[in-house]
Amino acid sequence: MKRLAVFASGSGTNFQALVDAAKRGELPADIALLVCDRPGAKVIERAGREHVPVFVFSPKDYPSKAAFESEILRKLKERQVEWIALAGYMRLIGPTLLSAYEGKIVNIHPSLLPAFPGKDAIGQAYRAGVSETGVTIHYVDEGMDTGPVIAQRAVPIVPGEPIEALEARIHAVEHELYPAVLRMLLGEAEQQEERIENDGSETSINQRV
What is the set of active-site residues?
A: 109
Angle, helix 163-199 to helix 121-128, in steps of 10 degrees: 130
Binding residue per annotation — 186? no
Binding residue per annotation — 144? no
Binding residue per annotation — 93? yes
Helix runs in the chain, H state only: 13-23, 42-49, 65-78, 95-100, 121-128, 163-199
Binding residue per annotation — 92? yes
Binding residue per annotation — 65? yes
3-state secondary structure of 74: helix
Binding residue per annotation — 74? no
181 HSE (CA, 13 A, CB side):
26
Binding residue per annotation — 107? yes
Residue 53 CB contacts under 8 Å (≥ 6 apart), including other chains:
32, 33, 34, 47, 79
Residue stretches of the annotated binding site: 12-14, 65, 90-93, 107
